[in-house]
Amino acid sequence: MSTTSFRQRIRQSIEDETLQTALDNNSERRLKGRAVAMQSIPNLEERRQRAHAIRADVIDHLDKYLEQFIAKNEENSVIVHRVKDAAEAIKIFLQIIGENGKLVAKSKSMVSEEIELNHALEKAGIEVVETDLGEYIVQLRHEKPSHIITPAAHLTKEQVAELFHEKLGIPYTVDIPTLTATARKVLREVFLTADVGLSGVNFGVAETGGLCIVTNEGNARMVTTLPPVHIALMGMERLVPNLDDLALMLSLLPRSATGQKLTVYTQLLHKPFPDQQRHLILLDNGRSRLRNSPLKEALYCIRCGACLNACPVFRELSGHAYIGSDLSIAPYPGPIGSVVSPGLLGKNYVQLAQASSLCGACKEVCPVDIDLPKLLTRVRAGQSPTTDYRPQTAGAGLSLSTKLFLKVFARAASNPMLFALSQKFASLGTFLLAPRSRWVRLPALTGWGYSKDFPRFAEKTFRERYQSEPEDEKLEDRRHLKAVRPQFANVQSNTVPLSNIQFTAEFTALGGHFLSTHNPTLAVIELLKSRGVDRIHLEPGTLDEDLLHAAGIEFTSKPDPQILVGVTKAICGLADTGSILVVDGKGNPLKASLLPEVHIAILRSTDIYPSLPDAMPLVKDSGAAVFITGPSRTADIEMTLTIGVHGPKEIHVFVTS
């Protein structure tokens, strides 16, 4: 297989100065944000190993967990479709949507990219509108996402400004809040008029049948809540056994993906909303085949994108450089994509595994400790499954000269005598090439020779030096290692005491407004009067309605897009993340916390819990619930944080005893 086109695309990416500027903005901030967020986790390595074990257990016993998950969803009145491939999935989509309308509001789903869903629906005359800001931008440009978390990471604000000027008719501006507000206005109409909402699923909970969806902008809440039909598309491997395991995954996913302790909106959907129909499409599309291959560990992935941000190759190329032999852009780029894309979609993408230095940065940042360098070498060795179930030729994607070199090296490295002899010849050869320097300049034709110098081989090998070292020094080295190992084994992280004070600090750090009050109704009235607001969406039983009437405040429990303020109960608060929990019930509290520009939540001081695992029992029996962590936000344009996307721009918590 020729890799010429792949190499050409790589060169184009490296030579594109605008692209390089955009990539630098994205990757550096992502890495710094992740590093800071991970420091707040006690026992990080222990959590990574637990997460790895959970994912391994799920994949090893996938049939059992799928059976339990499907049964629970059917109990919850969700219509479940198990599909074997992309064609079958698209057929189901067309049947559901064809019966219910022509406008689909879609939130982010990499699985939909995998099966090329948008193209198939548009071909059938169905309008599909991406509602994640980054996805919306690349859709307007008729492009594929360049990153699994930040789809428009390859673009600058100037490019987005030009796009919105051309496509949406606004005056040219590079002011990112203005660009975001424009998208909010346009997409709000889509949310309110869509016939069908389409979403991905981050995790399915086998124990409860829950669908967990994590977002920052609020668009996933819109598409799962407002349209009369909701379709959830899910890779069948994205399961966790129970809510405790989900809490563990949620302590790792947002920190790795966006540098947050918890995403702004963490939804748990069990039952459809009143007058809503919900479908769940569980996709195989090669996952069963991958599960029975040497690349099985790739299915442990929770799609955080950390390996992309850490990879020195991806950081220079962007996702659009990862192309197959047919020139199609791989749905999954970067280190994990170089394993998953050929693993699921066949030998068209095996060449992607060559775009790696095998430095191990991807494994170091993976929240579930996937050994990606090992998997990449297996793809290179021809061990990825293909669509015809036959093993590929070892070294697929390598040039003839590289294959020949590796064969010679393998022969020498597997024979101690040959290896020692080759070291001597290498030392002599590099000395003759550079007798007065410690570095050897390689010829340009080697590729590396354009910019790399090679260190001269040592005159004396490590084994020769070690054998000549006195025995007492070796013994001292071993004693030192024995002494320090117990020190590392006994290291434990100190847990930070959790309290109402911590909740206040975390919540306000997110941009939330906090007030402790003995009378929340009077506090709400005062805030409303200061804003000139006289009509609110109110969850029944939250405030003193007689006082509201006396103050001239009109209230309703019916959703109204024109209402500026929604008031709900907060079932609990989380001290370590500054989150609040809102559960569906009488008066549409989930819509009251989503549609207005301002959300006010009333929280009892006794209902502040230390962390997410403590609050999970509260959502187990709910029809739907959401943990809200600050106002809606995005950083999809040049990694610049912008508050107020599709959900509320402000969130106030009034704590009362």
Give the integer Cα–Cα distance in Å for 534 and 465. Answer: 84
For 512, what's the count of Cα atoms within 13 Å in the CB-facing half-sphere? Answer: 28
Q: How far apart are CA 620 and CA 623, in angstroms?
A: 9
- Three-state secondary structure readout of 232-263: EEEECCCEECCHHHHHHHHHHHHHHHHCCCCC
How far is it, in rounded angstroms, from Cα 86 to Cα 548? 54
Helix or strand holding residue 615 (H, E): helix 612-615
CATH class, domain 1-40+293-396, is mainly alpha
- Tokens coding 561: 């897009």
Q: Specify which residues 11 forms β-bridges with.
A: none
Tokens of 380: 């290179």
Domain with CATH 1.10.1060 in the chain: 1-40+293-396
**Would you say the pTM of this structure is higher than 0.95?**
no
CATH 3.40.50.10420 occupies which residues in the chain?
Answer: 68-283, 500-656
Nearest to 264 by CA among 618, 31, 582: 582
Q: What is the pLDDT of residue 480?
A: 52
**Residue 654 burial by Cβ neighbours in a 10 Å radius (0-12, 13-18, 19+):** buried
CA dihedral 187, 192, 194, 198 (to 10 degrees): 70
User: How many other β-carbons are positioned within 10 Å of the β-carbon of residue 189?
Assistant: 11
Residues 6+ apart with CB under 8 A from 300: 52, 55, 56, 59, 368, 370
- Cβ atoms of 13 and 317 within 8 Å: the answer is yes
CA distances from 21 to 27, 63, 415, 611, 646 (A): 10, 46, 48, 39, 28
* Residue 638 in tokens: 């040049």
Q: Which single residue is written with the structure tokens 């009437």?
A: 549
Q: Helix H segments across 435-470?
A: 462-467
> What is the CATH T-level fold of the domain 500-656, as seen in this structure?
Rossmann fold (3.40.50)
- Angle between helices 133-140 and 176-193 in degrees, nearest 10: 90
Cα-to-chain-centroid distance, residue 246: 15
Q: Is 583 helix (H, G, I), strand (E, B) or coil?
A: strand
373 in Cβ contact with 363 (< 8 Å): yes
Q: What are phi and psi of 241, to 5 degrees?
A: -65, -40
Beta pairing class for 210-215 and 265-269? antiparallel
Chain centre distance of CA 396: 29
pLDDT at 159: 97
DSSP class of residue 453 equals: E
Q: What's phi and psi for 619, nearest 5 deg?
A: -100, -5
625 forms bridges with which residues in the sheet?
A: 268, 583
Look at the alpha carbons of 552, 558, 559, 561 in this order and tell me if their dihedral is positive or negative: negative
Polymer length of the chain: 657
Q: Which stretches of the chain score pLDDT less than 50?
A: 1, 389, 481, 484-498
CATH of 68-283, one of 3.40.50.1100, 3.40.605.10, 3.40.50.10420, 3.40.630.10: 3.40.50.10420
Q: Under a CB-based contact definition with an 8 Å cutoff, are residues 315 and 404 in contact?
A: no
pLDDT score of 389? 45
SS in 3 state form for 263-285?
A: CCEEEEECCCCCCCEEEEEEECC
Residue 391 near residue 383 (C-beta atoms within 8 A) = yes
Kind and range of the H or E element at 25? helix 17-38
Cα(301)–Cα(332) distance, integer angstroms = 12
pLDDT tens digits along 421-449: 888 887 887 778 778 788 777 665 555 55
> According to the model, what pLDDT value does residue 464 have?
77
Q: What is the DSSP letter of 441?
A: E
> How far is 108 from 116, CA to CA, in rounded Å?
13
CA gap 87, 108 in Å, rounded:
20
Strand partners, 220: none
Q: Which residue has the tokens 């989150």?
A: 579
Degrees to nearest 5, angle at CA 253 with 284 and 303 = 35
- Residue whose token pair is 């949406």: 168
d(CA 127, CA 40): 43
Q: Take residue 500 and report the two structure tokens written for it.
A: 């109402």
